[in-house]
Structure 1
Amino acid sequence: MAREGILSIQSHVAYGHVGNCAAVFPLQRLGHEVWAVNTVQFSNHTGYGSWKGSANSVEQIREILQGVEERGAFARTRAVMSGYLGDPQLGAAVLETVARIRAARPGALYACDPVMGDVGRGFFVRPGIPEFFRDQAVPQADIVTPNAFELAFLADRSIDSLEDALAAAARVRRRGPGLVVVTSLELPGAVDEIAVLADTGAGSWLVRTPRLPLTMSGTGDATTALVLGNRLANDDIPQVLQRSVSAMYELVRLTHEQGAGEIELVAAQEAYAHPPRLFEVERVR
């Protein structure tokens, strides 16, 4: 019998771990079949300042998606996941695919990582992408995983406290998603910690971990993958949050320990299914 799976539409790099190269392996390690559609084929992520390769055209990506559909995969797709989008037209193709999958497989989830920018860097995507996420993608998503900067844009309000984050997450959730997971929260009076918030209609929960002195590309892609993978296996949102954040902490910890220039995605693989340390979950609403 053909297996069910996850359709992941993201970038690809030959060297390092971002996009599908950060998301696919954790999902596989959690036991999920993944069908990866690569939006770009680059030598490495653009943070290095130089890279080789090219982006696939929207027409090429639509053709690939059509081929996946012709294999009967859409009826077996449990979830669609998307991350960085280089062009609003590509975003439209993603949403069209989500609609076709939901028609073929009612109940299929859409997990959207609304990659737009970050605190200190501001927006780093092309014009029109933030508005696409806010106005089109987020209302169609079941799960969204913004960082604090992206949440502030999506909710059109500043975030200076936990109360602000809760209000902003609830505002975004009321537009469509059932689960909003906010990463990279810096809370007042907790300079040595970083927090992740999960907000649903039934409640909100927070997990705090020690702050490690590094910022790496690919962590958001891996986080979204872990949240989706754990959510598909478990309806208990506090457990989904706890396992996802605890696994990510181990990934970042190992990367910091090794002094690596890329996230230690393979070295941390045991943590995806069996986090060595489970951080406390705090109910905040």
Structure 2
Amino acid sequence: MKILSIQSSVAYGHVGNSAATFPLQRLGHEVWPVLTVHFSNHTGYGAWRGPLLAPADVADVITGIGEREVTGPDGRAVSVLSTADAVLSGYQGAEEVGAVVLDAVARVKELNPRAVYCCDPVMGDVGRGMFVRPGIPEFMRDEVVPHADVLTPNHFELDFLAGTTTRTEAEVLAAVDTIRDRGPRDVLVTSVITDETRENTLEVVAVSDDGAWAVTTPQLPIAPNGCGDVTSALYLAHLTTTGSPATALERTTSTVFSILEATIAAGTREIQLVGAQASIAAPPDRFAARQLR
């Protein structure tokens, strides 16, 4: 699989493309990382250095990729963008960057109608609220999400996108259906905690045209930056290669849980992608998906 991944990048640590690229490559996929920022470290440290790339520069990089040519099935030269199987995006700090992403999605799909767009609608989280600037959540909801084929919100973001508050499993599924009616066919909801969730656990829910499934995992005492970026990348990869939301859910949650365990064992703030790479390449059989409908 070939993936155009438009995300942030850091030199130290793992968020954005610096979290998504290695796992995808470790699974054997080609990644074309396009950077929206290149910081020294993620902003959770409170201080960082490096450039925020202008939207025009991001678009220029994508244009340059499109100008590269390979030999197509009929022997004629075609743009390499026509060989892209997916576009992946995460945090979008400005509407202008979002417009660049949507233009790239449109271009890739024009050249390859089978390509999918996986969007991680990074906006906020429980306990933190919205951490993007005003206007971005509405832009994500109204302009970006309808173009996504695969969407990976957390529970907080799901509620915002659906315009509701979900306290039960049935309400979570209803909220997902509301979003799916707007475009995305596959939705993965992370960090789901309802009134019905067992103590010290959380759920990850996957919904598609074929049904809905959930995996329940222990709630670990750690919430490092970058896990959402890894989760979106892994789910896109496993969903595309297996065609099974349930299998993709099981593999993704098992790998991410193993990465978190390795991070706790190492006592580090940054997730242990390299140290846990065996669980990326060969996801352990740790969690079984239960069908919700």
TM-score bucket of the superposed structures, by smaller chain: over 0.9
Residue 215 of structure 2 corresponds to residue 207 of structure 1: yes
The CA deviation at 1:73 is 1.9
Counterparts of 1:41-60 in structure 2, within 5 Å, are 41-60=38-57
Residue 124 of structure 2 corresponds to residue 117 of structure 1: yes
Contact 2:158 2:189 (C-alpha < 8 Å) held by counterparts: yes
Counterparts of 2:177 and 2:268, CA distance in 1: 37
The answer for the alignment partner of 2:74 in structure 1 is none
1:74 to 76, 81, 84: 81
Residue 187 of structure 2 corresponds to residue 180 of structure 1: yes
The answer for the alignment partner of 1:150 in structure 2 is 157
Contact 2:251 2:284 (C-alpha < 8 Å) held by counterparts: no
Deviations 1:15-53 (A, max 9, x none): 000000000001001110000000001000000000001
TM-score by length of 1: 0.97
The answer for the alignment partner of 2:204 in structure 1 is 196
Counterparts of 1:83-102 in structure 2, within 5 Å, are 83-102=90-109
Aligned pair count reads 282
The answer for the alignment partner of 1:255 in structure 2 is 263
> 2:38 aligns to what SS in structure 1?
strand
Contact 2:9 2:17 (C-alpha < 8 Å) held by counterparts: yes
Unaligned ranges ≥5, structure 1? none
Counterparts of 2:222 and 2:33, CA distance in 1: 28
The answer for the alignment partner of 1:30 in structure 2 is 27
The answer for the alignment partner of 2:236 in structure 1 is 228
> 2:51 aligns to what SS in structure 1?
strand
Moved over 3 A (4+): none
| Root-mean-square deviation (Å) | 0.9
Unaligned ranges ≥5, structure 2? 69-78
The CA deviation at 1:116 is 0.1
Counterparts of 2:131 and 2:171, CA distance in 1: 24
Contact 2:207 2:213 (C-alpha < 8 Å) held by counterparts: yes
The answer for the alignment partner of 2:14 in structure 1 is 17
The CA deviation at 1:273 is 2.5
